[in-house]
């Protein structure tokens, strides 16, 4: 089911990116100087428009993912502490269970039949 859903989402999305790239392959000049002079001199390069747009989208996705990861840091920390507490409680419960079973087991030399008679 998940693979069908992925196909239904990612194939049209990929085709849309492909069509966008084919339709916008003309070169654009990108200036790296935020305050170009009248002669527009300074660091610049030419690249197809679709690369600029897709790079901006990718940068936005990475920035959003990073901000989400940083924002959820406190929950990851709390989950780590809860896992450690659960592991400690589980080991204590196993230890207590072992002690309880050891106290219920028959003493050496006595039979299990006498234990059953004592209990019921």
Residue 116 has pLDDT above 60, yes or no: no
Contact 50, 21 (CB under 8 A): yes
Neighbours of 74 (CB within 10 A): 9
pLDDT band at 1 (very low <50, low <70, confident <90, very high): confident
Residue 53 Cα distances to 59, 87, 91, angstroms: 10, 48, 54
Question: 6 pLDDT exceeds 60?
Answer: yes
**What pLDDT digit, counting tens, does each position of 80-98 carry?**
999 999 999 999 999 999 9
pLDDT given for residue 34 in this prediction? 79
| Residue 80 · residue 65 · CB < 8 Å | no
Cα–Cα dist 74/86, whole Å: 18
Q: pLDDT band for position 29 (50/70/90)?
A: confident
């Amino acid at each position: 089911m998940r693979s069908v859903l992925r196909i239904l989402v990612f194939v049209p999305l990929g085709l849309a990116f492909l069509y966008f790239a084919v339709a916008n392959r003309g070169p654009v000049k990108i200036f790296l100087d935020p305050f170009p002079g009248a002669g527009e001199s300074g660091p610049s390069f030419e690249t197809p428009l679709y690369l600029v747009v897709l790079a901006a989208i990718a940068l936005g996705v990475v920035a959003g993912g990073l901000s989400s990861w940083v924002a959820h840091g406190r929950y990851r920390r709390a989950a780590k502490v809860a896992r450690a507490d659960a592991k400690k409680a589980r080991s204590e419960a196993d230890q207590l269970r072992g002690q309880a079973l050891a106290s219920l087991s028959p003493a050496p030399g006595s039979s299990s039949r006498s234990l059953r008679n004592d209990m019921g």
